[in-house]
Amino acid sequence: MAHPDPSFATADVPHAQFQRGLPHGLYRVVVNPERAQKYIQARLMLKTICLPILGIGAALAIAGYALAGLPLVVIGLLLPRIVRKKAPELLLHFAQRDAKVYQEALEYEILEVRAPVAANDAG
């Protein structure tokens, strides 16, 4: 499959080099949004966090403490949606700072790093 930008090609970039070069625009990064959502939700253990928040919020609201319970219910419902929407940005943030996340993202084909093609290699 041809890349949209022929001046960049998929590269095997070590994490330290990726970490130094990304802020300077040396690499183009392609993130698979669906896979990023699943990976980030699992990495953050989102269900483990949101279910107790929802339960406590519902219990407080039923017990008559609606002002304390309803914000917890709203947080428990909105947090997964926000994380799903921001998953590619979060993955890139984590991958830039943690070599393990970077390697897993490459291995599971969530992240693709493209490096510039040298002028004499392009022809």
The pLDDT score that the predictor gives to residue 8 is 61
> Is residue 11, in this structure, part of any structural domain at all?
no
Domain-located, residue 117? no
Determine, yes or no, domain membership for 75.
Answer: yes
Which residue numbers in the chain have pLDDT < 70?
1-9, 118-123
Q: Are strands 111-116 and 8-10 parallel, antiparallel or unpaired?
A: antiparallel
Average pLDDT, the chain: 89
Domain assignment of residue 9, yes or no: no
**In this structure, is residue 10 part of a structural domain?**
no
Determine, yes or no, domain membership for 99. yes
- Give the total number of structural domains in the chain: 1
In a domain, 64, yes or no: yes
pLDDT for position 116: 80
Strands (E), 11-57: 28-31
pLDDT at 119: 47
Q: What is the pTM of this model?
A: 0.81
* Cα maximum dimension of the chain: 72
